[in-house]
Chains A and B, each alone.
Chain A
Amino acid sequence: MTAFLAKPLIDGNNFLQLLWFFVIALVFAIFLFLDGIDFGVGMATRVMAHDGDERALYMRAIGPHWDGNEVWLITGGGAMFASFPLWYASLFSGYYLLLFIVLVGLILRGVSFEFASHAITDRERSVWQWANFAGSVIAPFGLGMMLTSVIQGVPMDAQGNVRAGFFDVVNWLSIVGGVAVVFFCFLHGLHFLSLKLDKTMSERMLNTTKKVYWIAYPALVVFVILAFFFTDFYQRRTWSTLLITVVILGATICGHIAAYKKRGGFAFVSSGITLAGIIAFIFNGLFPNVMIATDPAKSMSVAAASSSQYTLEIMTIVLCCLLPIVLIYFAWSYYIQRKRLITDSSPASIKAALSE
């Protein structure tokens, strides 16, 4: 057993290192799938809602869940720290200001739910609703930028210190990447709302996404072209990257059709898969590295960034014991609160749903 665990399997990485690379990718994919809902709903408060009460209703829809969804990001960060400390150190210190902006976004969004519930006047409440909206745009945009900047390769020294210049972080691909994540979160949030609101409002959500979805196709084409020139994914990891591209496109088409057919559930799963696909695209392309340096010799491989075998073993045992339990009660919390919040979209029933 120990001999097998220590044996290099793919590109010099042993089983546990591969497993944890996959786990990190999985956790970030789940994070984007779940917190993408909250970001999208936050955007919808400005784009879709007519008045303060409707905004509050949207926020109520994710009220019980957003915090748990955000924990997937914390878990991703913690798991990365535990299993690939050198990756964590290089990435987080290298993207200092961008991550700081993401944090500010998450802070604004995080307090807005509770603070908005204590507001007395509409004007006061709208301050926190604006904070929620701003945070819900800033955070996914910053994360999208970071992910699509990392994959282009960054100036990194032998110790792993990343000295990314402005144009390493802000360039065509990273801007398109940030916008893409925001865009798909928006669709995803609307699909979630279509499952939580009454028939009229649900249809309004799906009517919007079915129109907005048309932008996705040119955006994806632009993204693929930019990724082709700015990264080596299509050259170095041709088939897997192509496969994921097809999955992303397929999920997008499925979501679009579902929106046309007024199938909120299908549309929701599809847009979630698109978001998870973006993470898959990035992690698959990074492999067998975790950080790509502009000087390829200094790139950091999975094995080089990883913790000791002992720590990975401990973490694997912990993960196997805890994750199933977490998944069970996490799913349960969604299940018991699956009911639609309102049965008709009159202001009176919205008020009733908010005071419950």
Chain B
Amino acid sequence: MTVLGLSRFQFAMTTVFHFFFVPLSIGLAFTVAIMETLYVAKRKYVYKRMAQFWGKIFLLSFAVGVVTGIIQEFQFGMNWSNYSRFMGDIFGAPLAIEALLAFFMESTFIGVWMFTWNRFKPGVHVIFIWLTWLGSTLSAIWILAANSFMQNPVGYSIGKDGHAKMQSFAAIIGNPQLWREFPHVATGALMLGGFVVVGMSAFGFMRKDADRVFFTRSIRVGAIIALIGSILVIFTGDLQTLEIIKDQPMKFAATEGIYEDLKSPAPWMVVGLMNEAGHKVAAGIEIPGMLSLLAFHKLYGGTIYGMNTLNDQYLAKWGKAHPDIANYYVPTNVLFWSFRFMAAVGFAVLVLSILVLWFTRKSKNTLADSRWKLWILGICTYLPFVGTTGGWLITELGRYPWIVYGLQTIADAVSPTATVPSLLFTNIVYFLLFCLMGGVMIFYSRRVLHQGPEQDPETAKVEDAPKAAPAAAKAADRKVALA
């Protein structure tokens, strides 16, 4: 256990945990905003109940997201002080702008939104949730602007003190990496938020006294958002990959498990296992020509460099400045499999969303009666989180050994004052806190589902009148058909 290892573990742990709640909050804010907008547009009470019900889950997610976010901002200084010194001139600005532009907006308007349902007209009240969503989305732009610089430094120079200095603010926010990353993250958040509503609605259906109208509408809204989100996330991911092949070929080669250069048409390894120490593929299944199609969208797209070639190139390029770096290989197995999980999740959500829309269609709405389908959907609530985590593992581990690509190594960035005991202590406490918060979050989300949505005044009347169970069931069926 070293200071470096513990600092890296802490960054990974806090960021991954934080990023469960970031896309969830952004995606749910959007979903809730759509529901409330539907209420404003159609004046059907069920949409208001939906916005309020899913708003509860959104608020839970937001609370945990906020408190884990504070850790992020502080730990650059606490654990990575040399990084802060080196990068502060560039990195601080987006963080400060994020707070000024985005955090104030989301925190103020979420506070207004929560407590003024009865104070404002629906048409005004809905603005507050849209502003909350806008704030959270804007925050993503600025933090990704900072991250994009770490992946692809632009608009800087190295000053006399050896620190990076900002030369062009426009170049930093115009970083092509940013405008590849941001759409992917933003649409990924929509996919995730929509699909969590789908999965949780499936659990909602399973209850005996489930409000079928309510959950049918919810699951359909969620599925439409998840469907659009997953199409866009696949599309934007593809665009991002094209950029990565150029800017960070090592990262790309690792996600595809390519050690030796491939002439087009290059085969695509579907699954495989890497021998990282021996720098070769241990075993894998390949589809001929497929990689060229995926990477360049044509069979004859040019050479794809393998990691062995790239490692030699990098050694020649940076060897003099960084003689301490033995090689430039990234954790290949992790990247290879993260990519596969991420892509699989994207397509799975796409397919499942279509199926949900099909099985809840007006003419034949049978989803709620099929226990096994509901179970599959319910368990898949957790699926998109696997995808987003995989995406970040690729992005962050793929720049190894750099913290800022080509400029500063991770080893040089860590706080010189940090000690193993204090890092061990904070790691353990964070871990316990995260287990507690994650557990409570899931527990309370289940409770919200268990309690069910607020009763519709009209349904309550209908249910009170015919006490006989079959009649009530018939009424419920009719309601579902109407939905």
Report which A residues bind B (CB closer than 8 A): 63-65, 67-68, 70-71, 73-75, 77-86, 88-94, 96-97, 99-100, 103-104, 106-107, 110-111, 113-115, 118, 120, 159-163, 307-308, 310-311, 314-315, 318-319, 322-323, 326, 329-330, 333, 336-337, 356
B433 touches A75 (CB 8 A): no
A314 touches B78 (CB 8 A): no
Q: Contacts A94-B417, A99-B74, A336-B112; is A88 near B84 (CB within 8 Å)?
A: yes
User: Which residues of chain B in 357-374 are interfacial with respect to chain A, using CB atoms and an 8 Å cutoff?
Assistant: none
When C-beta atoms are compared, the residue in chain B nearest to A84 turns out to be B88
Across-interface contacts of B440 in A (CB, < 8 A) = 111, 115
Q: How many A-B residue pairs have CB under 8 A?
A: 215
Across-interface contacts of B119 in A (CB, < 8 A) = 336
B417 touches A96 (CB 8 A): yes
Across-interface contacts of A336 in B (CB, < 8 A) = 112, 116, 119
* B344 at interface, CB cutoff 8 A: no
When C-beta atoms are compared, the residue in chain A nearest to B167 turns out to be A310
Bound Cα distance A310, B119 (Å)? 46
The stretch among B96-104, B235-243, B274-282 that forms the contact with chain A is B96-104
| Contact code string B55-82 (vs A, CB < 8 Å = 1, else 0) | 0100110111011111101101111011
* B389 at interface, CB cutoff 8 A: no
A77 touches B108 (CB 8 A): no
B89 touches A85 (CB 8 A): yes
Q: Which of A85, A107, A160 contacts B67 (CB 8 A)?
A: A107
A115 touches B70 (CB 8 A): no
Across-interface contacts of B437 in A (CB, < 8 A) = 107, 111
Q: Which of A71, A73, A82, A113 contacts B92 (CB 8 A)?
A: A82
Bound Cα distance A114, B57 (Å)? 10
B418 touches A78 (CB 8 A): no
Smallest Cβ distance from A127 to chain B, in angstroms? Answer: 10
A85 touches B99 (CB 8 A): no
A104 touches B104 (CB 8 A): no
Q: Contacts A78-B98, A92-B77; is A315 near B93 (CB within 8 Å)?
A: yes
Q: Contacts A74-B99, A118-B444; is A308 near B111 (CB within 8 Å)?
A: no
B111 touches A315 (CB 8 A): no
Bound Cα distance A250, B101 (Å)? 36
Across-interface contacts of A63 in B (CB, < 8 A) = 111, 114-115
B112 touches A88 (CB 8 A): no
Chief secondary structure at chain A's binding surface:
helix
A74 touches B116 (CB 8 A): no
Q: Contacts A71-B103, A78-B95; is A307 near B89 (CB within 8 Å)?
A: yes
Across-interface contacts of B73 in A (CB, < 8 A) = 74, 77-78, 81
Q: Contacts A77-B73, A85-B88, A106-B67; is A118 near B100 (CB within 8 Å)?
A: no
Q: Contacts A78-B95, A92-B81, A110-B66; is A67 near B111 (CB within 8 Å)?
A: yes
Across-interface contacts of A322 in B (CB, < 8 A) = 97, 100-101
Bound Cα distance A71, B96 (Å)? 11
Q: Contacts A71-B104, A115-B440; is A356 near B88 (CB within 8 Å)?
A: no
Smallest Cβ distance from A192 to chain B, in angstroms? Answer: 15
A86 touches B108 (CB 8 A): no
Bound Cα distance A317, B89 (Å)? 16
When C-beta atoms are compared, the residue in chain A nearest to B90 turns out to be A311
Interface centre among B99, B111, B416, B422 (most CB of A within 10 A): B99
| Contact code string B138-181 (vs A, CB < 8 Å = 1, else 0) | 00000000000000000000010000011101000000000000
A114 touches B159 (CB 8 A): no
* B268 at interface, CB cutoff 8 A: no
When C-beta atoms are compared, the residue in chain A nearest to B110 turns out to be A67
Q: Which of B108, B112, B415 contacts A93 (CB 8 A)?
A: B415
Bound Cα distance A314, B155 (Å)? 14
* B409 at interface, CB cutoff 8 A: no
Report which B residues bind A (CB closer than 8 A): 56, 59-60, 62-64, 66-71, 73-74, 76-79, 81-82, 84-85, 87-93, 95-101, 103-105, 107-112, 114-116, 118-119, 159, 165-167, 169, 415-418, 422, 425-426, 429, 433, 437, 440, 444, 447-448
Q: A103-B74, A160-B85, A308-B89 are in contact. List 11 more A-B contacts (CB 8 A).
A: A64-B115, A80-B92, A81-B84, A114-B59, A308-B166, A310-B165, A311-B89, A311-B166, A319-B100, A326-B100, A336-B116
When C-beta atoms are compared, the residue in chain A nearest to B165 turns out to be A308
Across-interface contacts of B87 in A (CB, < 8 A) = 85
Across-interface contacts of B71 in A (CB, < 8 A) = 103, 107
Bound Cα distance A313, B118 (Å)? 44
Interface centre among B60, B69, B448 (most CB of A within 10 A): B60
Smallest Cβ distance from B449 to chain A, in angstroms? Answer: 12
Q: Which of B63, B78, B99, B105 contacts A100 (CB 8 A)?
A: B78
Q: Which of A83, A311, A333 contacts B111 (CB 8 A)?
A: A333
Smallest Cβ distance from A100 to chain B, in angstroms? Answer: 5
Interface centre among B62, B68, B104, B105 (most CB of A within 10 A): B104
Q: Which of B77, B84, B109, B429 contacts A104 (CB 8 A)?
A: B429
Q: Contacts A93-B418, A336-B112; is A161 near B81 (CB within 8 Å)?
A: yes
Q: Which of B85, B110, B417 contacts A85 (CB 8 A)?
A: B85
Smallest Cβ distance from A205 to chain B, in angstroms? Answer: 22
Bound Cα distance A99, B77 (Å)? 10
Bound Cα distance A77, B116 (Å)? 31
Interface centre among B63, B96, B116, B429 (most CB of A within 10 A): B96
When C-beta atoms are compared, the residue in chain B nearest to A127 turns out to be B440
When C-beta atoms are compared, the residue in chain A nearest to B436 turns out to be A111
Across-interface contacts of A307 in B (CB, < 8 A) = 88-89, 92, 166
When C-beta atoms are compared, the residue in chain B nearest to A164 turns out to be B417
Bound Cα distance A314, B169 (Å)? 8
A89 touches B85 (CB 8 A): yes
Across-interface contacts of B417 in A (CB, < 8 A) = 93-94, 96, 161-163
Across-interface contacts of A118 in B (CB, < 8 A) = 56, 60, 444, 447-448
Smallest Cβ distance from B98 to chain A, in angstroms? Answer: 7
Q: Contacts A333-B108, A336-B119; is A104 near B433 (CB within 8 Å)?
A: yes
Bound Cα distance A160, B82 (Å)? 10
Across-interface contacts of A319 in B (CB, < 8 A) = 100
Smallest Cβ distance from A103 to chain B, in angstroms? Answer: 6
Bound Cα distance A63, B111 (Å)? 7
B63 touches A115 (CB 8 A): yes
Across-interface contacts of A163 in B (CB, < 8 A) = 417
Across-interface contacts of B56 in A (CB, < 8 A) = 118
Across-interface contacts of A93 in B (CB, < 8 A) = 77-79, 81, 415, 417-418
Across-interface contacts of B67 in A (CB, < 8 A) = 106-107, 110-111
Bound Cα distance A57, B89 (Å)? 44
Across-interface contacts of A120 in B (CB, < 8 A) = 447
Smallest Cβ distance from A75 to chain B, in angstroms? Answer: 4
B59 touches A78 (CB 8 A): no
A75 touches B103 (CB 8 A): yes
Q: Which of B90, B104, B429 contacts A326 (CB 8 A)?
A: B104
When C-beta atoms are compared, the residue in chain A nearest to B128 turns out to be A333
Smallest Cβ distance from A155 to chain B, in angstroms? Answer: 10
Across-interface contacts of A106 in B (CB, < 8 A) = 67, 70
B104 touches A64 (CB 8 A): no
Smallest Cβ distance from A322 to chain B, in angstroms? Answer: 5
Across-interface contacts of B59 in A (CB, < 8 A) = 114
When C-beta atoms are compared, the residue in chain A nearest to B95 turns out to be A78
Q: Contacts A111-B437, A115-B444, A336-B112; is A89 near B107 (CB within 8 Å)?
A: no
B88 touches A89 (CB 8 A): yes
Smallest Cβ distance from A98 to chain B, in angstroms? Answer: 10
A96 touches B101 (CB 8 A): no
A96 touches B429 (CB 8 A): no
